[in-house]
Every structure is written in structure tokens, then in C-alpha cells.
Structure 1
Amino acid sequence: MCGICCMLVLNPQEGISNTLGKDTLESLQRRGPNCSQQLSKEVPELGYNIFFSGHVLHMRGCLKPQPLQDTQGNLLLWNGEVFGGIEIGPEGNDTQIILQHLSSCKNEESTLSVFSAIQGPWTFIYYQAFSHCLWFGRDFFGRRSLLWQFKNAGNLYLTLTSVSLSQSVSKYGNIPWQEVPARGIYKIDLQRNTGGNSLAISWYPWKYRSIEYEFKTLHLGEDVQFIEELPSFVSVFLNGSKLFLIAPITPMNYSVCETCVDTADSEASSVNVESFLSDEKKKKLVLQFINVLSESVRRRVLFLPRCQIHPSSQFTVSNKANVAILFSGGVDSMVLAALADHHIPQDEPIDLLNVAFKQQKTSAKQKKSNASRALEEETLQEDNSGLKETTSFNVPDRISGLSGLKELQIINPARNWNFVEINITLEELNEMRQQRISHLVRPLDTVLDDSIGCAVWFAARGIGTRTSNGEIQPYISCAKVVLTGIGADEQLAGYSRHRVCYKTSGFEGLVKELGMELGRISSRNLGRDDRVIGDHGKEARFPFLDEAVVSFLNSLPVWEKADLTLPRGIGEKLLLRMAAKELGLTASAVLPKRAMQFGSRIAKMENHKEKASDKCNRLSQSSID
């Protein structure tokens, strides 16, 4: 994880060094606390200045300051992890090796081949000295944040950054930030963008390697358009050579089943996940899925640095915990925990980060409206007879999390599972939203973005308590890597809207919906989550969005992944639930989907009449602006 920023000024009237304000530098440095560096490049003969600011979170190899510069004058800002495609040894430095590859590129094709090869999350900003070109972009899924902002205020400005820069509002008016679309990579030819008051950006979209599929694939031809809204003085166009990046995944299987049996009328009581595993073909498929997901987790939990965070003495800190998991006790986080257990050394703890928001006292009318959830929570509590007396923090995710902890302790009693109870009051939520969280969530602005952004920020911070030898102790997680289960619902039909879609449009509608889910995950989820988790100097990693995992799931017809004729807790994410059972999990394998904003109860803390899609006024009240 790194905080990267680049400011380009065309036809500058004055230098642009030291343009980042104190708040902005601190925000970038929180993402990259181990090393910071700033460089300026002024080319008056071509009429442009560029300012680079790099802040490094050291993850592996020798620590290298950014921007990294080679002997040819090329400069690279890199925020990513290479998990495949390009050889990076356990002690290798990603930034250094990527720059070596780019330094040997003498044309567009060779530059594109480098980024087509990389497997793993990344954003980059690369200045190619000999051609006077500025390249930038995000990976295929958009797993790392990159924002852009354009200004035409005497000079023409482009700013690219991991997080929005707060001082822009007061200095230039309310000029919006936007996420750089994860639809390819981009290039600005600075020799051709001299003079005038417009900016032209070449676009290199993704294209699948092979079109030899019977099902629908992605065709990008001459009519491909860049449809995102931009200022009138900015144009983004398909590159003149019509070159493309090669997509790192297999395209979605859009097959529609015409012979599948509808099991909607079968008795729910007769259906269980174990029964599916008795089918030899299904069991083989489950084992294949476990293998590919396990390898994804392995790549993300090995070769990590030792913990070097030294908080105040009031916290108990494990110096061995390198990996934490956003943990609700649901099937996604439980499977990740079980697989991480296979690869992390036995003497190393795993931090399970479980967040809960304090609940206000409810009226009799509200209690009655909550009756539909009572049975589920009572069932979970029956399996947790050792739980403390119900408190205002005993939200559904806390109950299911403690239940999941017991399952993990049964699977591996020798492991030190640090269940971190992170309890947040309304007062602390309001304070930290104003101070830190709101500008990290932006440019997203809905009630849903606020709820999830705040919940993830507090969870990833990892400050709470744990119970050790029957004693509750203050605790802070110092793990630099935070695993999250995002991507499972989008690929395996985990949301309630998928059931609605299947009911109204059948398999054809469902598979189109899943294709759309994966296509928009960068703009709806990943940039926001990367900014929020990265604010703690930690790195979000997404095992369900590993290229091999997505390719495997994309290759399957939709009915192999989910059966939405079956009851909740079974039909959605059926393939993952079978994998959970195969891994030895029990109650968590059939726990119905519960969104984080409801499971943590953050959605119940403030305006109960809001809709998830409403614009959230609380996000516009940041004191940073």
C-alpha cells in the first residue's frame, strides 16, 4: 500500500513544488508511513511541470523511496502487489522490478505488455522521459484507488492521487474529484498537449485474449466509447493505434440452462449443504474451488514483514500477527480464516476484526418491528451459551462472530485466534467521520457508502479488546495485511437483489446481473475500501478477486455457483457453502447473508428513514474541507 500523488501543470506561470498542504501530506503519509519523497520535473521548452509525491508502506524486499527514478530519467509511482505474471522473489521489490521492465519499453505495445502480464492489485503513475508521456491507470478490477481532478484556472491542471486533496475546495472552488475508471490505462503525450486550454488523453482499454467461446465475450471495436462525464476541456479517446491491454481473466460464462430442475417446491427441511457433497461431480468442483481460493489466500499471507507498530503501553500488542481478517462470522470471512490457517505459521496469531456500533434503547414499537430477526439471533445465541449478558454492543455480527470463533477453535485449537471486539459509540463515529472518514469515502456520497466506509474504517483500525485467559484486555491489531471477503457476493449471487432478478428474469437475467456486478465493483466498492483501510497504514487484500479465482468462477455456468430456488442460507453462494462444509465449518456455512451495515448495526445509529441510495449529508460536513 502506498500513497501516491502527481500534479501536472500545462503552460505554468510559476513552479509547483511544495503545493501539497499539511492535511494532504498527512493523509498520503498515513497510507505510506515508512518512507516519503517528493520530486518536481520542469520542462519549460515543452511547457509543462510535474510534481510527484510518494509515500511507501513497506511490504517486502528492500525499502525503496518513491517516486523511483532510473538512469534514463523515467519516474514511477507504484501502489500495488505483484502476485503473478511477472517474477518477484520473496525478497524482491515490486516497484524496482516493474520500473526495470518499463525502462526497457520503447513503444506502446511493449508498455502495454507489462501491465497485461501483472496479476495482482495495482495503480501506477509513470513518467516516460524519452517520449515525454505520462502513463497512469488501475488494474482490471480497480482494487487500488486512483482519483483525478481537472482544473482550468489560468493554467491547466491535472491531479492524480490515492486520496482526494482537501485544499482544492477552498483554493479553486468546489471542483469534483472522480475515480479514474478501471477500464484500461491512460497516456498523456506532453509534446502534443502544449498550448491551448484543452487536455487530450489516450485510452487503452482491456480486451479478452481469446474470443473462441460459445458464450458472450467482450468485443471492443472501433465504436468503443469512453462514456464517463468529464469537464468540457478534457477529452479521452481510444488510442490512435487501437491497441488494447489483455484482460487477466476468463470472460463470463453466459450459458443459460434449459434443462435444470426447479427445486422451489421441494421441502426446505429436506435440503442441506452436505447432501450436495455426496454428488461426485459437485464434490470435485468444490475441491477445485478450494484449491484455487486457497492458493489466492496463500499468495496474500506469505512473505510479510514483521509487525513494527509500537502503540502506547495501554494496549496489548502481538508482535507476530501479520494478518487480520474483517470478520463477521459469515461464510465469506469464515472460509478466508480457515484457509489462512492452512498457510500462516502455527505460532503466529490471526486477528479477527469484529466491529459493533452501540445500540440505543428501543421503544416497544421498535422492538415489535425487530421480531423478524429475533429467531435468527436466538438460534445463534443457543450456540454461544458462554456469551456475556446481552449488551448494547451485542449486534448480530458480534453474535455470529463469536459463534464463528468457536468453530475456528475447534478446527485448530492450537492457533491463537485473536477475536478483536471493536465497539464504537455514536460520539466516536461522528468525531472520526468528521476528522478522517468523510474525505476518504469521497467521491462516493451515498448513505450506503457512509455506512460501509465508516464500518470498514473502524474495523481496519483494529482498536478494541480481546479476551485472554478469561480476562478482557485492551488490544490493537498491528497486522499490515487485512483480508476482506468482497467479491464473493458479486460472483456467487449472494445479494437479495439476485433472488429478485432470478425470480423475474431466470438464469439469463441472473447471469447478466452478475456480469454487471463484476464490471462495476471498482466504482461501487473497491476504491472506497482501499482508501478507508489504507488510512491506517494497512493493505486491503481481496482473495475472492484474485485473477485465477475469478477466471475459475467465470468459467462455470451460473447454476454451478448458486441455486436460488433453495432457501436463504443455502442457495445463494452454494458453491462457497459447500466449500465451507468441506473445510470443516458447521453453522457458519449456512448462515444467511447479512450486509455489514446491518450486521454491525451502524445503519440503525442515525437517520432510520434514509435509503441506502440517498445522498448522505454527513459526508459533506468534514472539517478537513
Structure 2
Amino acid sequence: MCGIFCLLSLSPAESPHDQRLHQNLRRRGPDSAQDLTVSHAGPFSRCLFSAHVLHMRGPLTRQPVRDAGGNVLLWNGEVFAGVPVAPDENDTAVVARRLSACDAPAELVSALARVRGPWAFVYYQRARRCLWFGRDFFGRRSLLWRFDAEAEALTLTSVAGDACGAGPWLEVPAAGVYRIDLEAGRVAGTGGGVTLEVYPWATAAAGGGLPSPENVPSNCVATMNPWGLVLAPPVSPLNTAVPEEVEDGVLRSPPASRVAAEDLEAALASRERTGEVDRLIAVLSEAVQRRVLSLPSDVGDESPPPPPNEDHASVAVLFSGGIDSMILAALADRHVPAHQPIDLLNVAFKLQEKRRQQPAKKAKNKKDGEDQNKPAATAAASETPSPFDVPDRLTGRAGLRELRALNPARRWNFVEVNVTEEELREARRERVRHLVQPLDTVLDDSIGCAMWFAARGEGVVTRAAGDQTPFASLAKVLLTGIGADEQLAGYSRHRVRFKTSGHQGLVQELAMELGRISSRNLGRDDRIIADHGKEARFPYLDEDVVDYLNSLPVWRKADLSLPRGVGEKLLLRQAARALGLGSSALLPKRAMQFGSRIAKMENGRERASDRCNRLLSA
């Protein structure tokens, strides 16, 4: 993983150096930094390539990678499947060799489509005098762009710099890959801009293939590539089948899925044994295995040393104690060597004293049984002695007890990341507001801040004697549960859509969720987590996992006629029970901003979609 940067200049004049942008790139890749300039005779004067590498596997491969033919690669990604990478190889070097062997656009597009794993890249193909760039199918790695009309330059970068400057930053749409013909010259009528040839994923091509104009930098024009080439998508289309759900004008669910909300074991026993649970566990387990074993090795003199002692892990989980993170931790336990610890990073924002002293409110007008199946550990924070005993802290501790029961021999480092209001303000001002760009909503602020502190992993752990010890997680790999809710109907809006439009509406909502995850979540999360020189890995978005879930009809994945804590993500809850997990399998969805209580530290009247002034004036 790394921070990549490319400045494509139409003018021989030097562009001003953005110190903030350079600092942000350096934090992403602390193990190696290097610049390379390629001069070009023609309309485009030069390309400046810069890479900051976080070494993750095989021998350290410095970037930019330049081959004997003069081709240049910037690669921010991981190859988990699709292309063979030996244990003693670095995937950047493997990808560079494969791209070097390509000549025609069809060959290069085919080579990229075979890669399974997250990636963003920039590739200068010298023989063809062109520049390629793009993101993977789900957009799991950040790539931003903007065109500076005054400097006559197009910038591509993993992360933005100062909010001010020439034109707004935009996320490169994860709709395919893009190519710039460096011999083509300027685009007429665009103020000297750039023509972008689009090579869309086949699924995007069905809808036209081109990104919407508002997602393309000013003075640039996106056009379909002249050969009509598309990339083969890595997953099968979403199963859109729906049951016969209307009877006498009343919506109904498949009878086989109706079970008592209070008895998940009955759900496992009553549903037809078609193997979905075992198959989901199998593909998820393999996805986790790929991500916890692709770690820095001892190959080469420049490889980083192993963790300094047995307290420090190589793998951490962003951990709330909810079902998504519990399953990731349980599966990581299968594959991380037994002598190594696993860090569980649990973030909490300090509750204000006046709010903690309020008596617990009685539940009124609760919909969908949202208080059912809630474990005793989630009692109101006002009844607990610590200002950091927020809901996610309490469920996290309960989840820790379940994991210790599953494997008492494992050292589980439950890292309590405690954040005060003063620390929050400083981090937002100095780091988060720059990283969240170009997103700017209240939701982006809340999740971005919470995730930044959690990923940093600085807090305390409680040892066997009950003593709390300061602790900083050194794990470079962070497993996160994003993708589970989007595929298994975990959000409250899915329940609303199901109530109003039945299974057909729910299918449409799930298709939209996965289609927008790159712009709504993943680019932001990558920028936030990588700021600590760590890498986010998303097992629920592994291509094999998504492909399997896409193959299932919606009623095999969720039954939203059942109450919260059971009906949503029902298949995943059954998998949790099969893995031996307990009450965590019945926890309803709780968003990070509410579970960590960061939302309580700000204006309660704000809506998640409102533009966040704190990101502008912090």
C-alpha cells in the first residue's frame, strides 16, 4: 500500500508544491519515498511521478517502478487472487511485469481485470505515449483528481492537500480505467483541458459507461474509448429474483424464513439446509486468510523487523463487538498464528457529565423491536462509572468475553481508545479535515474522526490483574467490516424500503448500495486509515464473498419481516451461531457515530447529509 501522486503538465512552468499534500502522502507510505520526472516532446510537457511506499509483502519494491522500456508504474494495491504472486514476491513487481508485457489497450485492460484485490494505479506506457489510471471495481483504494486551468496541469493523488487552491478535488469514479493520449493535445473549447478515454467495467457500460460530468474535473472531457473495450467485472450480477410476495393484496415473506425473534437457534434448525451458512463461512474465512497472511516478511535486507515482543500484533480489527467485527475476529483467530496476539481497536468519545447523570429513559414507541435481544452489557451509559462507557465499549467488552471463551489461549489485546473533546477538535483541525476531502458532510466528519482515532490504536489495555496499561497498536493490517450491511440489508433504510416496496424495492436498494460504496465510503476510509501508515482490508468485499452473496436471492440473506437484531443480516447471524458466537449474533445494527458517541459531542440538530462546517473551519 502506498501514497501515489502524478502531475501531468501541459506547461513547462513548475507548479507550486503543496506541502500539506506531500505530508499526507508521506504518512501513508513511511518505508520508501521517490520521485521521477518524465519529459515529453509534444502537447504534454512532462509527468511528475511520486510514490511513498508502505511495505507489506515480499521484498521492498521502491516506486515509481520504471522498466527497461521506459514504462512507469505507481501501484497502490494488493493482489489477493487472480494473478499468481509467490510468497517471496512483491505484488507491485508482479503487476509491473505483467503491464510491461502489454502493448495494445485490449491487453492492458485484460491484465487489470484479472487482478483480485483492492487497487488504484497510474501507468505511463511509453511506447504508446499514453497515461493510464483508475481504481478497482469497488473503489477500495482512494484516487483523487483535479485540473488546474491556471497551471495547465492535471493532478492524480491518493489524498488531497490544502482545501484551498485551484479547483475542487474529486474522487476518480470507480467506473473503469482511464487513458490519456499524450499526443492528442488539448481539447478544443475547454480552456486547454484533457480528453479522458474511459474503459468501463462491463456493468457500468450497460448504463452508458461514462462518469457523470460533475465527477469529471473542469476543462476535461470523458469519452468512450474508440475500440468500445470494457473490463470484465470480478463478480456476477446481483440476483434480482423475488418471491411471490403479494397475496390478497398483503405483503408476505417466504414461510420457511419465519421464525421466533427470540430464538435464533430455531432459525438455524427450521430453515432448509441448503448449505448457504457453511458456504458463507468458507468464502469469508478464505477472504480473511488472504488478508491476514499477506503481511511483511523477512525476505530481503530492507524488510521491516518483526514485532518487538509478544504483546504486539500484526493484525488488528476495528472492533465494536457487533456481529460484523465479531465474525472477522473469530475468523482471524483461525488463521493468525497461535502465538501472535490480535488487537481489537475499540473507540469511545467522552460523554459529557450532564448527559451521563441523566436517568435512563424508558423505551417508548420503539419500532421493529429494536430493544429486543439487547444484552445486559448495553445498559445505559448513565448507569456506568466511566465517561467512556459508551454503547460500543460495552458491547466490545461483551464480545471480548465471547472471543476469550472461543480461544482462551489467544492473547486478545482489547485496546480502549478514549477520546476527549479537546483531542477530537485538534485531530479534526490538523488531520481529518484534509483527509476527508472531497467529502464534506456531517456523516463524513463523524465517521472520519471516529475511524481516525480507532485506526491510530493508541489507548489502554486491561491486563489479567485488572491494571490498565498504556498501549499503542503496531499492527499494519486493519480488518474492517464495511460491506456487510450493504449486501445483507443491515441498515434501517433497507427495512423502510422493504416495508414500502417489498422484496423488489429491497433488491433495488441493495444494488444501489454496492454501486455507490466507492464514492460514499471506501475512498474516505482508505484515506483516513492510511494516514497512520496502516492498511485497511475489507474481507466482506472480497470478490469471492461478493460473488457468492450476489448469487443468492435476497430472502436467503435477510428477512426484514423479523425484528431488528434478527431479520437484517440473518444469514450472517446464522454463520455467527455456527462459529460458536453468543449474544453478539443478536445485536441490532448500530452506526459507528452513535455507538462511539461522537455524534453526542456535536450539534444534535444536524442531519447526517448536511454540509459540515467543522470540516471547513476547524
What CA deviation, in whole Å up to 9, does each residue of 1:173-215 have, x standing for no partner?
xx1000000000000000002586131000000015xxxxxxx
- What's the counterpart of residue 234 of structure 2? 248
Offset from partner CA, 1:410-443 (integer Å, 9 cap, x none): 0000000000000000000000100011110110
Alpha-carbon distance in structure 1 between the residues aligned to 2:209 and 2:509:
21
Instruction: Tell me the percent identity.
Output: 54
Q: 1:321 to 1:564 in 2, by over 3 A?
A: same
> Match for residue 427 of structure 1?
422
TM-aligned CA distance change 1:80 to 1:37, over 3 Å:
same
Task: Say yes or no: does 1:134 pair with 2:104.
Answer: no
Q: Match for residue 401 of structure 2?
A: 406
C-alpha separation in 2, matches of 1:310 and 1:83: 22
Judge conservation of contact 1:277–1:578 (CA < 8 Å) in 2.
yes
Q: Give secondary structure in 1 for the equivalent of 2:152.
A: strand
Deviation by residue 1:301-344 (Cα, 9 ceiling, x = unmatched) = 01312795999xxxx97564110000000000000000000111
Alignment of 1:200-279 (within 5 A): 200-207=195-202, 220=206, 223-229=208-214, 230-258=216-244, 261-262=252-253, 271-279=262-270
Q: CA RMSD in A?
A: 2.7
Q: Work out the CA distance in 1 between the residues paired with 2:375 and 2:29.
A: 40
Match of 1:485 in 2: 481
Distance of 2:471 and 2:106 partners within structure 1? 51
**Aligned-partner residue type, residue 287 of structure 2:** S
Choose which of 50, 53, 62 in structure 1 pairs with 2:50.
53
Partner residue, 2:19: 22
**SS state at 1:36 partner:** strand
User: What whole-Å deviation, never above 9, does each CA across 1:46-102 have from its counterpart, x for those lacking one?
Assistant: 442111110000001111111000000000000000001100111211111111111
Q: How many angstroms apart in 1 are the aligned matches of 2:358 and 2:384?
A: 21
One-letter identity of the residue aligned with 1:85: G
The residue type paired with residue 281 of structure 1 is: E
1:329 counterpart letter in structure 2: G
Amino acid at match of 2:13: E
Are the equivalent residues in 2 in contact too, given 1:146–1:161 (CA < 8 A)? yes
Distance 2:344 2:305 in 1: 18
CA contact (8 A) 2:377 2:398 kept: no
Q: Structure 1 44/620 Cα, relative in aligned 2: closer, same or farther at 3 Å?
A: same
Distance 1:434 1:151, change over 3 A: same
Q: Indicate the residue corresponding to 1:391 in structure 2.
A: 386
SS of residue in 2 equivalent to 1:245:
coil
Partner SS state of residue 462, structure 2: strand
- What's the offset of the Cα at 1:24? 2.2
Q: Which deviates more from structure 2 when the two are superposed, residues 407-416 or residues 298-307?
A: 298-307
Aligned equivalents of 2:543 and 2:193: distance in 1?
37
Q: Distance in 2 between matches of 1:183 and 1:394?
A: 42
Would the alpha carbon gap of residues 320 and 357 (structure 1) be closer, same or farther in structure 2, given more than 3 Å must change? closer
Question: Out of 338, 345, 356, which is 1:346 matched to?
Answer: 338
Out of 364-373 and 526-535, give the one that drifted further. 364-373
Question: Does residue 1:562 correspond to 2:558, yes or no?
Answer: yes
Amino acid at match of 1:204: Y
Separation in 2, partners of 1:40, 1:13: 12
The corresponding residue for 2:291 is: 300
Look up the equivalent residue of 1:82 and give its one-letter code.
V
Q: Which moved more, 1:187-196 or 1:428-437?
A: 187-196
5 Å-filtered alignment, 1:365-514, equals: 367=359, 380-381=375-376, 389-469=384-464, 470-514=466-510
Q: CA deviation at 1:224?
A: 4.2
8 Å contact kept, 1:355–1:398: yes
The corresponding residue for 1:540 is 536
| Distance change in 2, residues 1:318/1:48 (3 Å) | farther
Q: Secondary structure at the match of 2:414?
A: strand
2:231 is aligned with what amino acid?
L
Partner residue, 1:335: 327
SS at the partner of 2:353? coil
1:346-403 deviation per Cα after TM superposition (whole angstroms, max 9, x unaligned) = 1000000000000102359965667569x9599634599xxx9531100000000000
Aligned with residue 315 of structure 2, among 323, 340, 348: 323
The structural deviation recorded for 1:6 is 0.4
Secondary structure of the residue that 2:272 maps to in structure 1?
Answer: helix
Determine the C-alpha separation between the residues in 1 that align with 2:144 and 2:339.
40
Q: CA separation in 1, counterparts of 2:37 and 2:218?
A: 28
Match of 1:391, SS state, is coil
Hey, what's the Cα distance between the residues in 1 that align with 2:468 and 2:375?
A: 22
**Using the alignment, how far apart are the partners of 1:489 and 1:340 within structure 2?**
20
Q: CA deviation at 1:518?
A: 0.1
| Alpha-carbon distance in structure 2 between the residues aligned to 1:132 and 1:270 | 62
Give secondary structure in 2 for the equivalent of 1:515. Answer: helix
- The equivalent residue for 2:144 is 147
Please state whether the residue corresponding to 1:497 is helix, strand or coil.
helix
Tell me if the contact between 1:148 and 1:178 (Cα under 8 Å) persists in the aligned partners: yes
Structure-1 residue corresponding to 2:93: 96
Cα 1:204–1:563 shift into 2, 3 Å: same
Partners of 2:213 and 2:126 in 1: how far apart? 29
> What residue number does 1:188 align with?
180
CA contact (8 A) 1:164 1:442 kept: yes
Task: Specify the SS of the correspondent of 2:48.
Answer: strand
The answer on whether the counterparts of 1:317 and 1:475 sit within 8 Å (CA) in structure 2 is no
The residue identity in structure 1 corresponding to 2:613 is N
User: What is residue 125 of structure 1 aligned with on the other side?
Assistant: 122
- Alignment partner of 2:599: what SS? helix
Whichever residue aligns with residue 326 of structure 1, its letter is: L
SS in 1 for 2:393: helix
How far did residue 21 of structure 1 move? 3.5
Closer, same or farther in 2 for the Cα pair 1:342/1:267, shift >3 Å?
Answer: closer
**Which residue number in structure 1 is paired with residue 300 of structure 2?**
none
Structure 1 position 156, deviation (Å): 1.8
Query: Partner amino acid for 1:91?
Result: D
The question of whether the paired residues in 2 share the 8 Å contact of 1:317 and 1:478 is answered with: no
Query: Is the Cα contact below 8 Å between 1:462 and 1:476 reproduced in 2?
Result: yes
Structure 2 counterpart of 1:577, from 573, 579, 582 = 573
Quote the Cα distance in structure 2 between the aligned partners of 1:380 and 1:106. Answer: 59
Give the structure 1 partner of residue 170 of structure 2.
Answer: 178
Q: 1:63 to 1:118 in 2, by over 3 A?
A: same
Q: Is the 8 A contact 2:34 2:51 kept in 1?
A: yes
Question: Which runs of 5 or more residues in structure 2 are unaligned?
Answer: 247-251, 298-302
CA distance in 1, matches of 2:76, 2:377: 46
- CA distance 1:253–1:413, shift in 2 (3 Å): same
Report the count of equivalent residues. 597
Q: 1:151 to 1:275 in 2, by over 3 A?
A: same
Contact preservation (8 Å) 1:226, 1:237: no
Contact kept? 2:73, 2:122, Cα under 8 Å: yes
Q: 2:234 & 2:377 partners in 1: Cα distance?
A: 46
Contact 2:264 2:574 survives alignment (8 Å): yes
Q: CA deviation at 1:408?
A: 0.3
Q: Which residue of 1 aligns with 2:519?
A: 523
1:542-601, Cα deviation, whole Å (9 max, x unpaired):
000000000000000000000000011000000000000000001000011100000000
Which residue in 2 is equivalent to 1:213?
none
TM-score (norm 1): 0.91
Contact 2:73–2:123 (Cα < 8 Å) also in 1: yes
Deviations, residues 99-133 of structure 1 (Å, cap 9, x unaligned):
11111111010000111100000000000011110
Q: For 2:601, give the aligned amino acid.
A: M
**Structure 1 residues not aligned, in runs of 5+:** 209-217
Partner of 1:601: 597
Following superposition, the deviation at residue 281 of structure 1 comes to: 3.5
